[in-house]
Each structure stands twice: as structure tokens, then as C-alpha cells.
């Protein structure tokens, strides 16, 4: 784990350089960063939430991929998470930026088919996370998959 601001290009460059100096490569990159703007109707889009989401979810990823890709080998695996709530009502900002993020990733995935790395786009089942609690307040969290069980399922899909 690397707790850095992904919108800070210098911090990302320093992290990539540190990884290269220490290990020379990355065998597994799981991209879990997302800015989750509040859900709401399109007519209530807040420009600050919009800008922050575009910067964090789309622009940062578009800059991150070229910085991390030299550290990846043909057999490296890269993991991104798709969200089936993206195209539902009230997911305006989150949905738009998540869709853009996944479009970048799937394009990269197609480009790497014959050369690697292996780009995996996984669909997690609903889990009792802080983001989900923000998006669905009052939801019965006991009906959701435990994070531990869901993590095991997702890791098994990677065939590590």
C-alpha cells in the first residue's frame, strides 16, 4: 500500500522510482483509488465535486498508467474494479467518472492482449464498505457479503 495523493505527479513519480530502485518491477497492481462524490440528480451536480472527481478518477489514472506501466512485466497482473451502480439514477458524477475510468482501463486491456501485462477488470459484490454506507444509508449491511469473503473470491479470480 502506498498512501499518496495520486493527483500529485511528483509523488507518483517518486513512488514509481522507489519501487524500481527497490524491486525493479511490479507483479501485481490493484488500483482501488476512487473519489466517491455524493450521489444525487444530474440537476444538482456541484462543480467542486465534479472537478475533484474528474481530477482524482480520470486525470490521475490517465497519468498513473504511463508511470506505472514501465514497472510491469508481461506476466504482471493489474486489477481494477468495475461498479454496476454506474449507470443507475443519482450516480451522475460518480457514474460518469467511473465509466471514464473503466473505459481507459478496458482500452488499455485491449492494447495489452498479446504483450501483457494482464489487465483484470473485476466486479465486486456489494460489501459493507464506508463508500457503500455513504451511497446507501440505512441499508441492511448484514445482507451484504463480508469484505473478507469477497476479497477471497476476487483474489481467486486472479489465479495468482
Burial of 43 (0-12, 13-18, 19+ CB in 10 A): exposed
Query: Is 9 within the bounds of a domain?
Result: no
Give residue 2's pLDDT: 74
- 113 within some domain: yes
pLDDT tens, residue by residue, 125-150: 999 998 888 888 899 999 998 999 99
Residue 72 is assigned to a structural domain of this protein:
yes
The residue range of the domain holding 36 is: 26-157
CATH of the domain at 122: 3.40.50.720
Residue 149 pLDDT: 95
pTM: 0.89
In the DSSP assignment, the letter for residue 91 is: B
82: three-class secondary structure by DSSP = coil
Rounded distance, CA 120 to CA 100, Å?
Answer: 16
pLDDT in tens, 70-112: 999 999 999 999 987 666 889 999 999 999 999 999 999 999 9
Amino acid at each position: 500500500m502506498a498512501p499518496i495523493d495520486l493527483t500529485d505527479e511528483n509523488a507518483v513519480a517518486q513512488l514509481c522510482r522507489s519501487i524500481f530502485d527497490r524491486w525493479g518491477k511490479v507483479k501485481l497492481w490493484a488500483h482501488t483509488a476512487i473519489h466517491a462524490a455524493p450521489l444525487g440528480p444530474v440537476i444538482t451536480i456541484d462543480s467542486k465535486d465534479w472537478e475533484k472527481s474528474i481530477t482524482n478518477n480520470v486525470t490521475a489514472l490517465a497519468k498513473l498508467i504511463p508511470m506505472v506501466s514501465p514497472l510491469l512485466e508481461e506476466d504482471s497482473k493489474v486489477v481494477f474494479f468495475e461498479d454496476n451502480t454506474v449507470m443507475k439514477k443519482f450516480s451522475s458524477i460518480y457514474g460518469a467518472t467511473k465509466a471514464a475510468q473503466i473505459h481507459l482501463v478496458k482500452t488499455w486491456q485491449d492494447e495489452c492482449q498479446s504483450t501483457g501485462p494482464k489487465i483484470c477488470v473485476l466486479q465486486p459484490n456489494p460489501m459493507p464498505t464506508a463508500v457503500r454506507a455513504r451511497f446507501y444509508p440505512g441499508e441492511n449491511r448484514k445482507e451484504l457479503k463480508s469484505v473478507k469473503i469477497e476479497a477471497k473470491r476476487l483474489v481467486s479470480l486472479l489465479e495468482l
